Chain A
Amino acid sequence: MSIVHIKNKKGETLNFLFILPAVLLNLMFFIWPFVRALYMSFYDWSLMGNKKFIGLGNFIEAFHDEKFINSLIFTLKYAVIVTPCLFIVAFALALLVNQNFKGVTIFRTIYFAPVVISMTTCSLVWLWIYNDLYGVLNYILDKLGIISENILWMNSADTSLPAIVFMITWKMAGFTMLILIGAFQTIDEEVYEAASIDGASKIQKFTRITLPMIKSYIALAMIISVIGSVLAFEQFSIMTKGGPSSSTTTTVHYIYNTSFKYFHFGYGSAISMILLVILLGLSYFQMAALKDPTDN
């Protein structure tokens, strides 16, 4: 695949100019704050006044910080549970709408629509649905005779985690579904036809042809999805407030509290660096594991 080269009269390439706005924005809102945060992470940095250089002090503290470690464990637990849920549902939906019947686009739109709601709005609405006293879910379950006592959804991680996973699956499966639909359509029909001639069943076609051929798309979807899950913040902050007893506090929520509620900016920056390294590691691992062997 070649990149189109646009040259002006003098023969200089204008490629650079086209990407310049994006590069500038990225520099201002990502690279520069990142460099600053990295700098801050080596200091005992309160809001104003004296900042003290403490080298790796913050990082060492982080490894002994029970709350930080618990937040990592919880966040990873959440990512490990929500990712398969998202992918199973996304695959099911993608297979359903990967056909060309009349009105299929409407279904694709319906399944994708929740993706574009803001996470904050979504959390507030579902918080209302899940409320034990006035929420509509308990009301319906009660009327259907499924429960006799109100379920206190947000009162413990045992119920709030599944409840939030369900909400996130509803909200985000459409995104992965979209990538998968695109992926399915890159596979030539003839490959399936040839397999049929050889006597392959539907399942065999799926596992031996479809899955391997869309490996790089799965990698793409999974990396984005896992990054999103590891960075989960609003849904827990709004719905469980990180509780009870900090049992549902994700790492980003903890970073937010550390910096903006407790005013420990240096420490907050340090733990966000640790989180970054963890994310880079996870992404690299996924890319390696899902590497398409047929790629040159």
Chain B
Amino acid sequence: MKRRIFSLMLSVVVLASLTGCGGNSVTSDKSKDKANKETTDNDEVELTLWARQNYYDVCKIASEKYHEKNPHVTIKVAEQTELSDQFAIALSANNEPDIVSMDSVLIPYYSSIGALTDITDKVNEMDFKDTFSEGMIRLSTFEEQQFAVPFGPDVSVLLYNKEHFKEAGLDPDKAPATWDELVEYAEKLTTEDHAGYVYSGGDAGGNMFTFVPYIWSNDGDVLTEDGSKSLLDQPEAIEALQFFCDLTNKYKVTPASVNSYDFGEATDAFTTGKASMVVLGSAAVWNILNGEYGDISIGISLIPAKDGKNFTSFSGGDSLAISRGCKNPEVAWDFIQYCLSEDIQVEELAQYGMIPARSDLFENEYFNERPEFKVTQEALKVGRAPYSLKYNEMYAPFLDGMQAALNEQMTAEEAFTSAAKKINSILEE
């Protein structure tokens, strides 16, 4: 009897451990791909590219179109939902893809550990190298060398529900431009049926995208220019946090639950009509305008700046990089250049509402039809992102502190001062 129980337990434990192992097939598939890479005498080239969800379709189409023009080159595109995690695992197994379309804020870290190929000379040779946004170029730079090139920018902008505006007696074509106006509008828009303003304060990705521009427009910053010290303990950053605390606790236009919202929840709150204003990204703008969330009439504007003067935006999205293990960087670079050509940037990105990385392509047939995209272009011009080699790690105390202040467990000053201390000790390690 005892033995039966024991063997039953053992088999269940073994089964349980196996069911947790579904994800491992990715590594074995990739090693097969790597083995297939060859540069034989007849110049057959096969490269792998990993992309995040948002840009997978574009990369796939780009690889197909490129193959038509260059039949000897095959670019195999794979979608990775947790790209950074998978890339890290692949690097440690010497199994990484040749090209990667990665979250721009992580490029500094991967450049610093030598995972990416230096492409400074190649970028400098490009005709349109000056058409990229400063913010994105800065993120692709490490120790004055270029390791990535901007591909698919995503910027944060303010969205508002025009119907709600009309019902509240506000001009549906005029968005709030200052912090005071934001409060004024939000108070009018907060009713029993919907909250005036929401944002995603639950995770680093959502928070940085939708809150940090408020710090910037107040002439503050998260880190110093070189990313070596935190500036959260400065009055400019504290004021921005205080403003957000006031939205929830003083003016009561934002429910405290935004403390746990990720990007999807903030989007859902807005698209279900439960919130009148929200800061989202250009990708979300397209999905909403495309009717994916039903009939909702929206307006777009730049994120309200403190005094209506210094407008900013968080410029994230993807950059393309060649990893250190790439056996054929010349072909990889040729493909990357193709991804930056009009064929892809306009026909594939712009047509579907994504902003081209090159400002010389902003004037295109698709954008000229949609005035909303003028706003996203403006946002890209003023877009920036904090530069850090320890991006996720340094963001954790930021998030903890902000959430504590919003839940009134600390004052804004206490929260950001202690966050800055923790961040500094992380950066010093």
- Chain A residues within CB distance 8 Å of chain B: 1, 22, 25-26, 29-30, 46-49, 127-128, 131-134, 150, 152-156, 160, 216-217, 219-220, 223-224, 239-241, 243-246, 257, 260-263, 265, 292, 295-296
A107 vs chain B, min Cβ distance (A): 24
Which of B256, B269, B392 has a CB less than 8 Å from the CB of A152? B256
Query: Is there an interface contact between A30 and B257, defined as CB atoms closer than 8 Å?
Result: no
Query: Is there an interface contact between A1 and B109, defined as CB atoms closer than 8 Å?
Result: no
A293 vs chain B, min Cβ distance (A): 11
Most buried by B among A22, A132, A224, A240: A132
Query: Is there an interface contact between A260 and B85, defined as CB atoms closer than 8 Å?
Result: yes
Q: B260: which A residues are within 8 A, CB to CB?
A: 154-155, 160, 239-241, 243-244
CB under 8 Å from chain A, chain B span 29-87: 82, 84-85
Query: Is there an interface contact between A47 and B113, defined as CB atoms closer than 8 Å?
Result: yes
Q: B381: which A residues are within 8 A, CB to CB?
A: none
Q: A220: which B residues are within 8 A, CB to CB?
A: 5, 8-9, 12
Query: Is there an interface contact between B255 and A47, defined as CB atoms closer than 8 Å?
Result: no
Query: Is there an interface contact between B88 and A257, defined as CB atoms closer than 8 Å?
Result: no
Contacts A48-B114, A152-B255 known; 16 new A-B pairs at CB < 8 A: A30-B17, A131-B268, A132-B255, A133-B274, A134-B272, A219-B5, A241-B203, A243-B399, A243-B400, A244-B403, A244-B407, A245-B400, A257-B392, A261-B392, A292-B1, A295-B2
List the A residue with the shortest CB-CB distance to B5: A216
Query: Is there an interface contact between B17 and A48, defined as CB atoms closer than 8 Å?
Result: no
Please name the 9 residue pairs, one residue from A and one from B, whose CB atoms are nearest each other, closest first: A244-B403, A261-B392, A133-B274, A262-B393, A154-B260, A152-B257, A295-B2, A134-B272, A132-B257
Check if B126 is an interface residue, CB within 8 A of chain A.
no
Check if B297 is an interface residue, CB within 8 A of chain A.
no
Query: Is there an interface contact between B92 and A262, defined as CB atoms closer than 8 Å?
Result: no
Q: How far is the CA of A29 from the CA of B268 in the complex (A)?
A: 38
Check if B390 is an interface residue, CB within 8 A of chain A.
yes
Query: Is there an interface contact between A224 and B255, defined as CB atoms closer than 8 Å?
Result: no
Query: Is there an interface contact between B12 and A48, defined as CB atoms closer than 8 Å?
Result: no
Q: B406: which A residues are within 8 A, CB to CB?
A: 244
* Given A220-B8, A244-B403; A134-B268 close (CB under 8 Å): yes
Binary CB contact string for chain B from 360 to 401 against chain A (1 if under 8 A, 0 otherwise): 000000000000000000000000000000101100100111
Query: Is there an interface contact between B24 and A29, defined as CB atoms closer than 8 Å?
Result: yes
B151 vs chain A, min Cβ distance (A): 23
Query: Is there an interface contact between A245 and B404, defined as CB atoms closer than 8 Å?
Result: yes
List the A residue with the shortest CB-CB distance to B195: A133
B14 vs chain A, min Cβ distance (A): 6
Binary CB contact string for chain B from 1 to 13 against chain A (1 if under 8 A, 0 otherwise): 1111100110011
Q: A240: which B residues are within 8 A, CB to CB?
A: 202, 260
Q: How far is the CA of A245 from the CA of B405 in the complex (A)?
A: 10
CB under 8 Å from chain A, chain B span 240-299: 255-257, 259-260, 262, 265, 268-269, 272, 274-275
Check if B212 is an interface residue, CB within 8 A of chain A.
no
* Given A47-B113, A155-B259; A26-B84 close (CB under 8 Å): no
* Given A29-B18, A133-B257, A261-B392; A48-B113 close (CB under 8 Å): yes
Check if B145 is an interface residue, CB within 8 A of chain A.
no
Which of A154, A239, A261, A296 has a CB less than 8 Å from the CB of B2? A296
Q: A223: which B residues are within 8 A, CB to CB?
A: 9
Q: B92: which A residues are within 8 A, CB to CB?
A: 47-48, 265
Query: Is there an interface contact between B274 and A246, defined as CB atoms closer than 8 Å?
Result: no
List the A residue with the shortest CB-CB distance to B262: A241
List the A residue with the shortest CB-CB distance to B17: A30
Check if B115 is an interface residue, CB within 8 A of chain A.
yes
Query: Is there an interface contact between A25 and B18, defined as CB atoms closer than 8 Å?
Result: yes
Q: B262: which A residues are within 8 A, CB to CB?
A: 241
A280 vs chain B, min Cβ distance (A): 12
A80 vs chain B, min Cβ distance (A): 21
Q: B91: which A residues are within 8 A, CB to CB?
A: 47-48
- Some 22 contacts from A to B, beta carbons below 8 A apart, are A26-B18, A48-B92, A49-B113, A49-B114, A128-B268, A133-B255, A150-B257, A152-B257, A217-B5, A220-B5, A220-B9, A224-B12, A240-B202, A243-B202, A243-B259, A243-B399, A244-B260, A244-B400, A245-B401, A245-B409, A257-B392, A261-B392
B12 vs chain A, min Cβ distance (A): 6
Q: How far is the CA of A261 from the CA of B114 in the complex (A)?
A: 18
A52 vs chain B, min Cβ distance (A): 13
B207 vs chain A, min Cβ distance (A): 10
Query: Is there an interface contact between B9 and A262, defined as CB atoms closer than 8 Å?
Result: no
Q: How far is the CA of A131 from the CA of B268 in the complex (A)?
A: 10
* Given A241-B203, A243-B260, A246-B400; A127-B265 close (CB under 8 Å): yes
Q: How far is the CA of A70 from the CA of B409 in the complex (A)?
A: 18
Query: Is there an interface contact between B403 and A245, defined as CB atoms closer than 8 Å?
Result: yes
Q: B114: which A residues are within 8 A, CB to CB?
A: 48-49
Query: Is there an interface contact between A1 and B400, defined as CB atoms closer than 8 Å?
Result: no
List the B residue with the shortest CB-CB distance to A127: B265
List the B residue with the shortest CB-CB distance to A261: B392
Q: How far is the CA of A292 from the CA of B12 in the complex (A)?
A: 20
Q: How far is the CA of A70 from the CA of B308 in the complex (A)?
A: 43
Q: A296: which B residues are within 8 A, CB to CB?
A: 1-2
Q: B9: which A residues are within 8 A, CB to CB?
A: 220, 223
Q: B21: which A residues are within 8 A, CB to CB?
A: 25, 29-30
Q: How far is the CA of A129 from the CA of B75 in the complex (A)?
A: 42
Which of B202, B269, B401 has a CB less than 8 Å from the CB of A133? B269
